[in-house]
Amino acid sequence: MSLIYNIGILAGIQPEGVLRVEGKEQGETGILENAWLRIDDGRIADFGPMSVMPGPDRASLDACGGMLMPGFCDSHTHIVYAGSRDGEFLDKINGLSYEEIAARGGGILNSADLLNRTLEDDLYAQSMVRVREMMSKGTVAMEIKSGYGLNPDAEMKMLRVIRRIKETVPAAVKSTFLGAHAIGRGYSHKAYVDAVIGMIPEAAKWADFIDVFCDEGFFTVEDTDRILTAAKGLLEPKIHANELAVSGGVQVGVKHGALSVDHLERTTDAEIEVLKGTGTMPTMLPGSSFFLGLPYGRAKDFIKAGLGVALASDYNPGSSPCGDMRFVMAQGCIKMRLTPIEAFNAVTLNSAYAMGISKDYGSITPGKKAALILTEPSWDLTRMAYQYHTPCIRKVIQ
Ligand code: NIG
Ligand code: FE
Tens-binned pLDDT, residue by residue, of the chain (398 aa): 699 999 999 999 999 999 999 999 999 999 999 999 999 999 999 999 999 988 766 679 999 999 999 999 999 999 999 999 998 999 999 999 988 998 888 899 999 999 999 999 999 999 999 999 999 999 999 999 999 999 999 999 999 999 999 999 999 999 999 999 999 999 999 999 999 999 999 999 999 999 999 999 999 999 999 999 999 999 999 999 999 999 999 999 999 999 999 999 999 999 999 999 999 999 999 999 999 999 999 999 999 999 999 999 999 999 999 999 999 999 999 999 999 999 999 999 999 999 999 999 999 999 999 999 999 999 999 999 999 999 999 999 99
C-alpha of residue 315 to centroid of ligand 2, in Å: 8
143 and 284 both lie in a single domain = yes
Closest-lying ligand 1 atom to the alpha carbon of residue 213 = 3
Q: CATH number for the domain including 97?
A: 3.20.20.140
Query: Mutation test of ligand 1: which of 79, 319, 322, 328 has the most ligand atoms closer than 8 Å to its C-beta?
Result: 319
45 and 132 both lie in a single domain = no
Domains of the chain: total: 2
28 and 170 both lie in a single domain = no
Range(s) of the domain holding residue 34: 3-70+363-397
Query: Mutation test of ligand 1: which of 108, 212, 291 has the most ligand atoms closer than 8 Å to its C-beta?
Result: 108
C-alpha of residue 26 to centroid of ligand 2, in Å: 24
E strands, 225-287, are 236-241, 260-263, 281-284
Stated length of the chain: 398
β-sheet bridge partners, residue 7: 35
Closest CA to 307 of 264, 247, 249, 363: 264
**Residue 358 domain flag:** no
The C-alpha angle with vertex 167 and arms to 112 and 44, in degrees rounded to 5, equals 125
20 and 97 both lie in a single domain = no
Q: CATH number for the domain including 9?
A: 2.30.40.10
User: Buried (b) or exposed (e) across 188-215, using 16+ Cβ within 10 A?
Assistant: eeeebbebbbebbeebbebbbbbbbbbb
Distance of CA 245 to the CA centre of its chain: 21
By the 10 Å C-beta count (0-12 exposed, 13-18 middle, 19+ buried), 373 is classed as: buried
Entry pTM: 0.97
66 and 92 both lie in a single domain = no
C-alpha of residue 9 to centroid of ligand 2, in Å: 34
